[in-house]
Amino acid sequence: MAGLFYMVRLFIYHTEAQDKSEPARTILSEQFEVMERKLWWIIATPSMYIVIIAGALMIHLHKWYMIWPGWLVIKLLFVVGLIVYHFICQKKMKLMAQGKFSWTSTQLRLWNELATILLFAIVFLVVLKSALNWIFGVVGIIAFSIILMMAVKIYKRFREKK
C-alpha cells in the first residue's frame, strides 16, 4: 500500500514538474522516472505478488474456499479493485515516461484517495466482518469517500490562493 500511495504522489510531482521551465523540467522528469521505475519494479509489484500468494495460501489453509463467508467475498472484490488500481497506475507510469500527461495534479490527488478508500474498505471488512449491518458499512464507506473528496477540493483552493 505504501508503494501505491507514494507512486501516485510521484505522479503528482512529475506532472507538476511539467509546468517548470527548461532545464528544470527535463532534470526533474528524468529523476521522477527513475524513482517511479525503481519504486514500481523493486517494491510495489513484487509486494503485490507476495500479498496475492499469501492471501491465497490463507484462504486455502483456513478452508474458506469451502464456505466463502459474505464478508470475505466482498473483501476480495475490493482486493481485485486494488489490483486493477495497481495496473492502471502501471499504465499511467508508462504513459508519463513517454511524455503523455493526461491527468492534472488535482485528478491525480483524487486518484490517490481511491487507494485510501479501498484500503479502508478492506480493513473495515476484515475487522468488523459481520458485526455490523452491511447498510451501515456501505453508508460509512460512502461518507468517508465524500469527506476525502471534499478535503482534496479544499486543499486545491488553499493551494491556489498561495
The pLDDT, as a whole number, for residue 135 is 65
pLDDT category of residue 98 using cuts at 50, 70 and 90: very high
Average pLDDT over residues 46-54: 95
Q: What is the pLDDT of residues 3-36, one digit of tens each?
A: 999 999 999 999 999 999 999 999 999 999 999 9
What H or E segment, with its residue span, contains residue 54? helix 45-61
Using the predicted structure, report yes or no on whether residue 124 has a pLDDT greater than 90: no
pTM: 0.80
* pLDDT cut 90: percent of the chain above it: 51
Tally of domains within the chain: 1
CA–chain centroid gap for 157, Å, is 23
Q: String of b and e for 7-45 (b: at least 16 CB within 10 Å)?
A: bbebbbbbbebeeeeeeeeeebbeebeeebeebbeeebe
C-alpha distances in Å from residue 74, one per residue of 60, 69, 88, 118, 141: 17, 9, 21, 11, 13
Sequence length of the chain is 162
The pLDDT, as a whole number, for residue 154 is 85
Radius of gyration of the chain (CA): 18
Residue 61: domain span: 2-161
Contact 69, 112 (CB under 8 A): no
Position with higher pLDDT, 131 vs 16: 16
